[in-house]
Structure 1
Amino acid sequence: MDTLTSPTATSQPPTGGTAAGPVSLDSTLRTTPIHPSLPSIKVPATAVAGSTEPNTNPITLKPFTDAELSKYGFEKLRAQISTRNAATEAGNGTNLGGRTVDEEEVKKLREETAALLKHKLEERESKIREIEREIEEKEKIREVERKVFRKKMGNVAGIPEG
């Protein structure tokens, strides 16, 4: 039997891609919060900024592919960073108490991104609660309708309600 067409054969996804799909938020691979203000979203310790592998996709926990880097505009960002790093190494970077302006800008962007993500997560949770509440209300209404229908059908057929 051909292994490519066999329903029991398992194919290996290409390495480094997103073919593996998202890793659940409660996975044991996720150990370190992505940001102090977002303790519920965790990634491997190696994926946190300042580590040896900061280019890890937080959804798949695999390194970003070249396609993802170009899709999300990371190549432009890398070019800007390398240009700024070269300027800083050449002595053109403005130093603020041992830190460059770029580091301050990156820190500010991280905080803004974390705040935006936290806000979106809170919105999502409130929408979920609202939908659950609406579902409960609809279930109650449906149960009342069912009881009325049973009572009506019982009276029509001469069957006592039970």
Structure 2
Amino acid sequence: MSQLPLSPPSEPTSIQPVPLTSSIRTTPIHSLLPDIRVPGEPLPSHRYHPVTCTSIDIDEVRSQLEQLRKEYPSSEAALKAQEEAAKEVKHRLEDAEKKRAEVQRALDKKTQERDIELKVVSKYQKIKVSEIPS
């Protein structure tokens, strides 16, 4: 039995996410998600990847599109699924923002506690120094 040699592992793609505040992001991907934008030209917004803002090659995703067409045979079903997906994304973004706010509050509280402790230690050290006889 002759086996073909193993191919080298594929290199990770160097495509970086585009910040949500980037000026190339002009068109919202959905009315429920106005903060997530993709380029508006020259392709329609659904032809851009929402993270990298690169164009989506239809040939590469053709099998996924066929699967979605089988799963959602009517345009009404597809629109309903799109609305549900947008609501889920919005919910996840809100949850992530709440978690970020909680972490920031906890950090602020810890910083405030540290500052108070430093002031107390500083005063204590000043008192100790003044009590030392000359």
Does residue 116 in structure 1 map to residue 111 in structure 2?
Answer: no
The Cα RMSD (Å) is 2.6
> Equivalent of 1:80, from 27, 44, 67?
67
Q: Assess, with a 3 A threshold, how the Cα gap between structure 1 residues 19 and 64 changes in structure 2: closer, same or farther.
A: farther
Does residue 48 in structure 1 map to residue 45 in structure 2?
Answer: yes
What amino acid is aligned across from residue 122 of structure 1 in structure 2? E
Contact 1:22–1:60 (8 Å) recurs in 2: yes
* TM-score under structure 1 length normalisation: 0.62
**Residues 100-132 of structure 1: per-residue CA shift (max 9 Å, x gap):** 952112111110110000001101111111111
Contact 2:36–2:50 (8 Å) recurs in 1: no
Does residue 103 in structure 1 map to residue 75 in structure 2?
Answer: yes
> Equivalent of 2:55, from 45, 55, 63?
63
Partner secondary structure for residue 20 of structure 1: coil
Contact 1:18–1:62 (8 Å) recurs in 2: no
* TM-score under structure 2 length normalisation: 0.74
| Counterpart-to-counterpart distance in 1, 2:82 and 2:37 | 15
Aligned length: 116
| Counterpart-to-counterpart distance in 2, 1:148 and 1:126 | 33
Percent identity among equivalent residues?
33
> Following superposition of structure 1 onto structure 2, how do residues 1-162 of structure 1 map, counting pairs within 5 Å?
18-45=13-40, 46-49=43-46, 54=47, 56-64=48-56, 74-80=61-67, 101-158=73-130
Runs of at least 4 residues of structure 1 off by over 6 A?
Answer: none
**Residues 17-60 of structure 1: per-residue CA shift (max 9 Å, x gap):** 952301111111111111001111111123423xxxx2x21111
Q: Give unmatched runs, 5+ long, in structure 2.
A: 1-11
